[in-house]
C-alpha cells in the first residue's frame, strides 16, 4: 500500500454480501455463444465483501467476479479512499489481484481460499516487499446484498466474411429486495436505471436494464449499417467496429448508506471512444438520493469550491497561485465548477468530473476525494 495521497477513488465498509447471480450471454447475427467460465467454483457472477488485515493494517476488499475476471475496490482504513482492483483466477482455488491508482499498478495480492469465506495470501508492494494478508467475509447490520448480472453480445455490420462488429458488454449490480423497504428499493433501482445508466424510465429488473442498454446500442449500429446497405463503405469500414462497455461498483455499503458508480465506455467511430463515470449516494433510512444541499450547510458553495481547487492543484502538481486555465493550467475556466456527480464514504466525499466537463479529453475522468476532516463546519453534522 502507499501513502494517503495515492487513493483517488472511494469507500469504507463494514459488511459483505455474498449473493446469488445471473449471467446472460448471447450473440446477434452469428452462430456463436459467449459463455464465461465459473472461476473458483463460484456462481457465474457474485459480489463479495472481505475485511481483514494486510501487514497488520485493517483493509476492505469489495470484489465482483464474473465470467472472464474480477474487478472491485480495495481500501485501507487509514486512508478511506479505495483503489481499483482487477485480476483473474490462476488455478482451482487461487486468485491474483492487482491494485491500481488510476492506470498505475500498485500492490499485488496473491492468495487462495483455504476455507469458505476466507481469502488468504501475500501482498507485494511496489518496492517488492511482501506482507501476509487474511481477509474474511463479514456481515454487519445496515448493509444490503447485491446480485450481479452480466450480458455480452455482438452484432455483425453485414453478412460479409470478417464483417465489422458492434460488441456489447455490461455488468450491473442489483439490490436485494429483502434488505430494503419498498421505498428504499424503488429509490435505488429507479436511480440505477435512470440516473446511472440514462434510461428514460426505470427498468423492471436488472435483465430488462441490460437488454435495454444493449438494444439501444445495437439500434444505432443497425441504423448505420442500413445506410450502407448495398454500398461499399471503402476505407471507413474499420471505424464500424463499435464497442460499448458498462461496469458498476458499490463504493459504500454500511449504516444504511450506499454509494454506487457506473462507468461506461463507447466507441462509435472517430478518433477515440468516450468514457463517463456516474456516481450516486443514497440515504436508505430516509429512502432518498442525496444532493449537495443535503450534505452541506447553506452558503457552502464558495468555500467548497476553494477546497476542491486546493485538491486539484495538489493532485495535478499545479502551483498554489498558478492560473487553473490557460496555457499554464488545465481547466476551461478560471475556477473549478461544483458538480452534483459525487459519492459519500465513511471518511469523506468524492467529486467526479467527466471528460470535456471542465478540462480537455486528455485529462480523462478527474476524481477529487475530500476527507471530512477538511470540510470543517461546511458539512451537515448528520453526514
* Domain map (residue ranges) of the chain: 39-137, 146-289, 295-378
CATH code: domain 295-378 is 3.90.640.20
The order of strands in the sheet holding 21-25 is 21-25, 146-156, 165-175, 242-254, 257-267, 274-283, 288-289
Produce one character per residue of 352-383: b if its CB has 16 or more CB atoms within 10 Å, e if not.
bbbbeebbeeeeebbbbbbebeebeebbeeee
Residue 63: name the closest of 24, 17, 101, 106 by CA: 17
Q: Has this prediction a pTM greater than 0.75?
A: yes
Cell of 225: 449499417
- 10-residue averages of pLDDT along the chain (383 residues): 35 28 43 32 72 88 86 83 86 88 89 93 95 90 89 92 92 92 94 90 87 96 88 74 94 90 93 92 96 96 97 94 90 97 92 96 94 92 85
Q: What is the pLDDT of residue 43?
A: 46
Q: What is the pLDDT of residue 47?
A: 92
- Which contacts of 234-241 are long-range, i.e. CB under 8 A and separated by 24 or more positions? 236/269, 237/164, 238/164, 239/269, 239/270, 240/157, 240/164, 240/269, 241/164, 241/165, 241/166, 241/167, 241/267
Cell of 329: 493550467
The residues that bridge with 339 in the sheet, in sequence order, are none
Residue 259: name the closest of 285, 283, 293 by CA: 283
Find all residues with CB under 8 Å of 334, minimum gap 6, and list them: 323, 324, 325
Class level of CATH domain 146-289: alpha beta
The structural architecture, per CATH, of the domain 39-137 is Beta Barrel (2.40)
Q: Is 104 exposed, middle or buried (0-12, 13-18, 19+ CB in 10 A)?
A: exposed
Q: What is the pLDDT of residue 5?
A: 35
Q: What is the pLDDT of residue 236?
A: 73
Amino acid at each position: 500500500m502507499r501513502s494517503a495521497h495515492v487513493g483517488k477513488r472511494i469507500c469504507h465498509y463494514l459488511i459483505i454480501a455474498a449473493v446469488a447471480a445471473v449471467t446472460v450471454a448471447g450473440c446477434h447475427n452469428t452462430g456463436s455463444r459467449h459463455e464465461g467460465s465459473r472461476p473458483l467454483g463460484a456462481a457465474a457472477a457474485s459480489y463479495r465483501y472481505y475485511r481483514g488485515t494486510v501487514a497488520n493494517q485493517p483493509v476492505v476488499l469489495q470484489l465482483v467476479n464474473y465470467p472472464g475476471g474480477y474487478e472491485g475496490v480495495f481500501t485501507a482504513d487509514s486512508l478511506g479512499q479505495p483503489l481499483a482492483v482487477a485480476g483473474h483466477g490462476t488455478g482451482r482455488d487461487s486468485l491474483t489481484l492487482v491494485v491500481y491508482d488510476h492506470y498505475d499498478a500498485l500492490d499485488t495480492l496473491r492468495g487462495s481460499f483455504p476455507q469458505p469465506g476466507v481469502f488468504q495470501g501475500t501482498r507485494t508492494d511496489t518496492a517488492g516487499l511482501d506482507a501476509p494478508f487474511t481477509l474474511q467475509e463479514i456481515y454487519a447490520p445496515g448493509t444490503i446484498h447485491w446480485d450481479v448480472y452480466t450480458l455480452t453480445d455482438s452484432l455483425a455490420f453485414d453478412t460479409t466474411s470478417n464483417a465489422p462488429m458492434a460488441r456489447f458488454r455490461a455488468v450491473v449490480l442489483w439490490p436485494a429486495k429483502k434488505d430494503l423497504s419498498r421505498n428504499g428499493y424503488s429509490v435505488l433501482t429507479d436511480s440505477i436505471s435512470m440516473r446511472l445508466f440514462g434510461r428514460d424510465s426505470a427498468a423492471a429488473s436488472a435483465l430488462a436494464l441490460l437488454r435495454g442498454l444493449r438494444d439501444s446500442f445495437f439500434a444505432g449500429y443497425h441504423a448505420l449499417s442500413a445506410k450502407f446497405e448495398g454500398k461499399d463503405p471503402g476505407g471507413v469500414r474499420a471505424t464500424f467496429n463499435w464497442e460499448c462497455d458498462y461496469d458498476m461498483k458499490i463504493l459504500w455499503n454500511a449504516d444504511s448508506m450506499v454509494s454506487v458508480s457506473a462507468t461506461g465506455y463507447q466507441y462509435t467511430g472517430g478518433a477515440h471512444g468516450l468514457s463517463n463515470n456516474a456516481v450516486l449516494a443514497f440515504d436508505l433510512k430516509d429512502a432518498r438520493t442525496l444532493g449537495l444541499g443535503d450534505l452541506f450547510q447553506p452558503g457552502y458553495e464558495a468555500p467548497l469550491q476553494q477546497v476542491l481547487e486546493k485538491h486539484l492543484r495538489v493532485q495535478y502538481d499545479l502551483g498554489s497561485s498558478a492560473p487553473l486555465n490557460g496555457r499554464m493550467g488545465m481547466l476551461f475556466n478560471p475556477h473549478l465548477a461544483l458538480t452534483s456527480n459525487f459519492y459519500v464514504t465513511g471518511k469523506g466525499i468524492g467529486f467526479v468530473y467527466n471528460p470535456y466537463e471542465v478540462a480537455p479529453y486528455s485529462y480523462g475522468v478527474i476524481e477529487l476525494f475530500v476527507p471530512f476532516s477538511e470540510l470543517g463546519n461546511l458539512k451537515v453534522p448528520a453526514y
